[in-house]
Structure 1
Amino acid sequence: MSNKSFALSEDWVVVILGLTIIILALSGVIIPKPSFTWANVEDLSAKVLSLENLKSIGAQFALVYVTAIAGALLLGKNLKSLLIVFPIVMILTVFALILAGNESVKNYNLEAVIFSLAIGLIISNCFKLPQWFKDALSTELYVKIGLVLLGTTVIFGDILKAGMLGLVQALLVVVSVWYFAYWVCRKLKIDKEMSLMLSSAVSICGVSAAIATSGAIKGDSKKLSYVISLVLITAIPMMIFMPYIAEWLNLSQEVTGAWLGGSIDTTGAVVASGSLVGERALEISTIVKFSQNVLLGIAAFFISVYWSYSKSVDDETKKDKPTLKLIWERFPKFVIGFVFVSLLFSFVVTPEANAMVKDSLKSIQGLWFALAFTSIGLETNFKDLFKQDNKKPLYAFLIAQTFNIIVTLIIAMVLFNS
């Protein structure tokens, strides 16, 4: 069962779905925030597993399930597998939330997204999941809906302040890291197509940049899949360990957020790592990552220009001249949703209305992020890194990523160390 006659781009669907959830809340459809906090078995039974709390969890499930179905319909995707897979992802995610809610676990500052990711990774690397199951996972959709909802907690003045600094950082990082990564790739005699996709993935915004670059140059799908595997798998240790390195270096939340947002490749991993540090770090890391995302369309345009006139491409590819339209096509539209929601809650929504919906929307936002990381775990297999005989792209990626981490840290300390 699918709907192929009508489909929107994923980013616009995200904006529609995120705004619908917010409008429902502001209209009075407020789902109580479930509690996952417990200290012992008695607490677990009396609080988390109480009938009232289970009702709240069930209400959240109903909301996100219907939203996911609506998203699939708007995107023209197959519904049959989603109807089966999504409840499984939700059950695994709730289990992760319960584990993270234990007071002993909280003492180690381990967020639910870590458990979501770990559960998904254990399952995907110990069992062979069917392709139809993986195809039903919509990681990017869940992350982006959560990011639109994040706009309800970010004051617009913060966006302007951090956004200007973030844009400066993004320009410096993207240009320096992209050229370094491309130079390393060419030194290792990696072909131009793979070099362009890999350099964009490291320097701009991971999976989205790799896909945009592949689209701009009509890249090979197998090479694109390999680059995406590199991005997803290397993002996991960065997401987990960088917050602790930042704490060891005694970095402020602002500097840490800018460092995480500028160096971790996937938006979801940025959100998860920022959450481990604190709310301010989460805000800054998200805004900085958005600044890099905004450059995606411009980068895809210039890569198209280069590729169209490169001597290594065929005449048919050269006929597809890049236009300014390409910038708009590659521009991440969900950023518009985030900014609009921030404006709405900064200048339109009254403090009283905000107080009524704040806890509910923040809880739903966290649930979307947790669902996304369960999905990332389920679709990630470490064997993917070692499928190819040629390991040079892996070496180039790791060298470029190390350079990225160091350069971004230095720039973040200069710009955000107020």
Structure 2
Amino acid sequence: MSDRQPSNTQTIDPSYEARRRETQRRPDEARSGLFSTEDWWAVWIGLGIIVLAYALFASGTSIKWLAVAPAKWSSGAQLGADLAQHLANYVALFVVFAILFGIAIAALGQSLVRFVPGFFAVFVVSALIFVAGAWTNASRYNLEPPLIALALGLIVSNLLRVPAWLQPALRVEFYIKIGIVLLGATLPFTLLVWAGPVAVGQATIVSLVTFFVIFLAARALGLDKRFAAVLGVGGAVCGVSAAIAVAGAVRAKREQASVAITLVVVWAIVMVFALPFVSRALGLPTGIAGAWIGTSEFADAAGIAAAQAYGDLAKHAAGAIAGAPEASLQAFTLMKVVGRDIWIGIWAFALAIVATTRWDRDEPGVIKTHTTAGEIWTRFPKFVFGFVIASALVTWIAGHYTLAEYRSVVTPAFVAPITALRTWAFTFCFLSIGLTTRLGSLSSTGAKPLIAFTAGVAVNVVIGYLLSVHVFGSYWASLGQ
């Protein structure tokens, strides 16, 4: 009797089947339809906000009244007056978020009654975090709202017990997916042209080199290729956002995404202090320091804090630091927010195809079958389409303006309010990450992920320095002049 299996039969290794079940998405993500998955709802909510913002902008008004955030304050009296003045705006923002998120939650077949009380708590805590971030001395201590949210969440979850009623509102992936779609509205493709080939080229070099260093180091240490991909993209692009996007694209385990996020955040916090300090010690001009920070930092919030801190140092250094103070933040924005963040969609698309056509078929005990376009479509994180559509829409809008007009007209009335709402979404996400992360449980993965990621950090920092200071130094030094 032949040992060969019939052509319509698959031999499946039990360990593989167990792993496959482990990496399945939540039930709401497994369903099909434009209104049946978390990814698609993130797209509709994000694009809905952007379209509304543009409609108001085109009519001569703005969505700024809804995208509320505390003004800078230095005394309790100032803070109290500002909060009292904008109390109605905060109430309106909560109601809008609760309605939009609630519609999605209900459509996904989950309990709205359980979600709303928890989300109210998340919103109130996030508002208090925004208050802390608006303190006039906050930038001196790098107290950016998303970082405060993460730190607070980690403290609470690891020292206290998170109440069960809060759990339904701690939707890390949902909040970050909406934030990524809104991020697209702040990254028109035109910015790539305005940024110039230097910024785009440097960002491309860093994204590719960092990814492959981390990926190959992780594979050499025996880590799963899906885990290696999540770690690699987390270090190569915009840490948390990219890690979540790629984890879904390659079907990585949930705990693997959590480890990647934690490593990104840990190194982001280290860099937020180390990079400005070392830049100051080396006497780097503001533009060069901002480019190095943008090349080497792993999170937008942390990088903005570091670049802003260096710009503030230049303001008070009485000419000891060359360059315009604002050049630090400008260079960071070109490198990180424009050049590197645009790779989120590229890596998610590329790795979704690789995982579907190669990695899945290479699993032990699984007969090699032809991969269909439908399977690639099912695997691809749909919220990345929202990111691309949002970017295309803003590109069309930006096409009607020069760069100077874009910054003076479009940014304050249209882009800035969307950026504020994106920061709210990211704050919800980072707070949820902190509240759902038990540092003790991460120790089960061992030191290998840390070693692999740290190898990428070392290469990233060195290459970033060489490119920013020696290869393209004249370009970055002249920025803002």
Same fold at TM > 0.5: yes
Q: Hey, what's the Cα distance between the residues in 2 that align with 1:267 and 1:150?
A: 11
Q: Partner of 1:400 in structure 2? A: 456
Q: Is 2:426 the partner of 1:374?
A: no
Residues of 2 paired with 1:192 and 1:366: CA distance? 32
Using a 3 Å threshold, how does the CA distance of structure 1 residues 372 and 339 change in structure 2: closer, same or farther? farther
- Alignment partner, residue 341 of structure 1: 394
Q: Hey, what does 2:338 align to over in structure 1?
A: 287
* Number of residue pairs the alignment of both structures matches: 412
Alignment partner for residue 298 of structure 1, among 350, 367, 375? Answer: 350
Q: 1:36 to 1:221 in 2, by over 3 A?
A: closer
1:294 shift after superposition:
3.2
Percentage of identical aligned residues: 25
For 1:8-407, what aligned pairs fall within 5 Å after superposition? 8=37, 9-10=39-40, 12-23=43-54, 25-26=56-57, 28=61, 30-32=63-65, 33=68, 35-45=70-80, 47-50=81-84, 52-73=85-106, 78-105=111-138, 108=141, 110-129=143-162, 133-134=166-167, 136-143=169-176, 145-146=178-179, 149=182, 157-162=190-195, 164-165=197-198, 167-190=200-223, 192=225, 194-204=227-237, 206=239, 219-239=252-272, 241-242=274-275, 245-246=278-279, 249=282, 255=288, 258-265=291-298, 280-281=330-331, 283-284=333-334, 285-296=336-347, 297-307=349-359, 310=362, 313-316=364-367, 318-319=368-369, 321=371, 326=376, 329-330=380-381, 332-333=384-385, 334-347=387-400, 360-361=417-418, 363-388=420-445, 390-407=446-463
Deviation of 1:363 after TM superposition, in Å, equals 4.2
Alpha carbons 2:234, 2:243 under 8 Å: kept: yes
Report the TM-score, using the length of structure 2 for normalisation: 0.68
The alpha-carbon distance between structure 1 residues 354 and 107, as it changes in their structure 2 partners (threshold 3 A), is closer
Partner Cα distance (1:227, 1:57) in 2: 33
1:359-391 deviation digits (Å, cap 9, x = unpaired): 655544443444343333333333243234x32
For residues 140 and 447 of structure 2, the distance between their equivalents in structure 1, rounded to whole angstroms, comes to 40
Distance change (3 Å), C-alpha of 1:172 and 1:126? same
Query: C-alpha distance in 1, partners of 2:137/2:161?
Result: 33
Q: Tell me, which stretches of 5 or more residues in structure 2 are unaligned?
A: 1-26, 311-325
Instruction: State the Cα deviation string for residues 9-40 of structure 1 (Å, max 9, x = none).
Output: 24523542332441464355745355433332
Q: Give the drift of 1:330.
A: 5.0
- Tell me: CA distance 1:142–1:202, structure 2 relative to 1, closer, same or farther (3 Å): same
Whose radius of gyration is greater, 1 or 2? 2
Q: Is 120-129 or 97-106 further displaced after alignment?
A: 97-106
Match of 2:466 in 1: 410
Residues 118 and 198 (structure 1), Cα distance of their counterparts in 2 relative to 1, 3 Å cut: closer
Q: State the alpha-carbon separation in 1 of the partners of residues 282 and 115 from structure 2.
A: 43
Residue 80 of structure 1 deviates from its aligned partner by: 3.5
CA pair 367-219 structure 1, distance change in 2 beyond 3 A: closer
Deviations 1:62-115 (A, max 9, x none): 333333334445666553433122211221122122223333445556433343
For the aligned residues, what is the CA RMSD? 4.3
| Structure 1 residue runs without a partner (length 5+) | none
Counterpart-to-counterpart distance in 2, 1:88 and 1:19: 26
Structure 1 residues 222 and 120, CA gap change in structure 2 (3 angstroms):
closer
